[in-house]
Amino acid sequence: MMSHLKRFDFQVKVVSLIPFAFSQSLRHSSTPTTNQIPMKLIRFGNPGEEKPGLQLADGRRIDASAFGSDWDEAFFGGDGLVRLAQWAEANAASAPTVDASVRLGPCVARPSKLICIGLNYVDHAKESGMKIPEEPIVFFKATSAIVGPNDDVIIPKNSKKTDWEVELAFVIGKKASYVEEADAMSHVAGYCVHNDYSEREWQIERGGQWVKGKSCDTFAPLGPYLATSDEVADPQNLGLWLKLNGKTIQNSSTAQMIFGVQKLVSYLSHFMTLLPGDVITTGTPPGVGLGFKPEPLFLKAGDVVELGIDGLGEQRQVAKAWS
């Protein structure tokens, strides 16, 4: 890396690698340990034709196609963030601007895995009528469900119980296998907003695994951007919220997680190899439609869902009927 980096309007700076002593508790604050440069990565354009870009500190979006790589497994696994920071230092000022009207796609290219953690907030487990887990509940979501942060959510054919879940997601930055908790955060590239849409009848009432109710098309909006890990001082201290038709129905903090990011990286890496670019989504707080009393509340065509996480931006989806 260059010995000196100028400060641009998108807040490029060198972050020193600092050793930390991590506790072994299940949930605690975890400061990133990667030697990265803070950036917000976006992808923009028509579905299936997205181009890579950056969102600068002043809100301007730039086209990073000239960098020569999408935000995918090869990028994250090959010192891509370091190379991108060097490219941005030299080219951010002259790079083409992406108009605010242009669609944002998912903030990372389709990953090898989209891993979900269930019932990771005590109050959500209680509202769902399920036992508080002693170990992380792990399930998968089909990567074909991934869409942009503001794309319509399609209520599946014959669905009666489509539900919402605001969640913090994180992206793996380097291959992780049998990782100890003390080293776990060095494997995290960054964080983004995820809405873990769920069809509750298919998830809970149809037998088998939850993946059936989690994997419908449009059920995994990601973005608006991926904030690199050094943009997030403490992933276990982020406010997250969700509104349905303008009314706030989820409002909590990642401090309420049962199993934090550091624990999850280590835990999952003992059951499978986590590849660069893999997305792990960490569960939702209370306020999902399934938990409404006296009767559950589920999405109908025309509903507007808005959600966000401190420092990670906001999403907006309009519910549409399958056709």
Q: What percent of the chain has pLDDT over 70?
A: 89
Give the closest residue to 28 by CA, choosing from 251, 182, 172.
Answer: 182
**pLDDT higher than threshold 50 for residue 35:** no
pLDDT in tens, 17-28: 223 232 333 344
Q: Quick check: helix, strand or coil at residue 217?
A: coil
Neighbouring-strand partners of residue 168: 193
Q: State the average pLDDT over residues 48-67.
A: 96
| Range in 6-15, 54-63, 122-131, 277-286 the model is least confident about | 6-15
Strand ranges inside the chain, DSSP E: 40-44, 51-55, 61-63, 97-98, 114-118, 137-140, 146-147, 153-155, 162-163, 166-172, 188-195, 198-199, 220-221, 226-228, 239-244, 247-253, 279-281, 304-309, 313-321
* The pLDDT of residue 18: 28
Question: Domain segments of the chain: what residues?
Answer: 40-98, 114-321
Helix-strand-coil percent breakdown of the chain, rounded to 5?
Answer: 20, 30, 50
Q: State the average pLDDT over residues 141-156.
A: 98
**pLDDT higher than threshold 80 for residue 193:** yes
Q: State the average pLDDT over residues 72-92.
A: 96
Q: Which fold is adopted by the domain 114-321?
A: Fumarylacetoacetate hydrolase; domain 2 (3.90.850)
**pLDDT higher than threshold 60 for residue 307:** yes
DSSP output for 58-103: TS-EEE-GGG---SSHHHHHTTHHHHHHHHHHHHTTTSPEEPTTSP
Distance, CA of 177 to CA of 271 (rounded, Å): 8
Q: Among the residues of 72-186, which ranges form H helices? A: 73-77, 80-91, 122-127, 181-184
| Tokens coding 202 | 């298919």
**pLDDT higher than threshold 70 for residue 301:** yes
Distance, CA of 216 to CA of 199 (rounded, Å): 8
pLDDT in tens, 199-219: 999 999 998 899 999 999 999
How far CA 250 is from CA of 58, 78, 197, 276, 289, in Å, comes to 29, 38, 14, 31, 10
Q: State the average pLDDT over residues 206-235.
A: 96
Give the closest residue to 227 by CA, choosing from 98, 56, 50.
Answer: 56
**pLDDT higher than threshold 70 for residue 16:** no
* The pLDDT of residue 36: 53
* The pLDDT of residue 188: 98
Q: State the average pLDDT over residues 51-58.
A: 95
Of 141 and 1, the structure prediction assigns the larger pLDDT to 141
Distance, CA of 256 to CA of 207 (rounded, Å): 29
Distance, CA of 13 to CA of 88 (rounded, Å): 12
pLDDT averaged over the chain? 90
How far CA 105 is from CA of 7, 16, 241, 243, in Å, comes to 28, 32, 21, 21
Backbone angles phi, psi at 208, to 5 degrees: 75, -150
Q: Quick check: helix, strand or coil at residue 175?
A: coil
Q: State the average pLDDT over residues 233-243.
A: 97
Backbone angles phi, psi at 306, to 5 degrees: -125, 140
* The pLDDT of residue 37: 64
**pLDDT higher than threshold 60 for residue 245:** yes
Q: State the average pLDDT over residues 237-264.
A: 97
Q: State the average pLDDT over residues 283-295.
A: 95
| Range in 126-140, 227-241, 283-297 the model is least confident about | 126-140
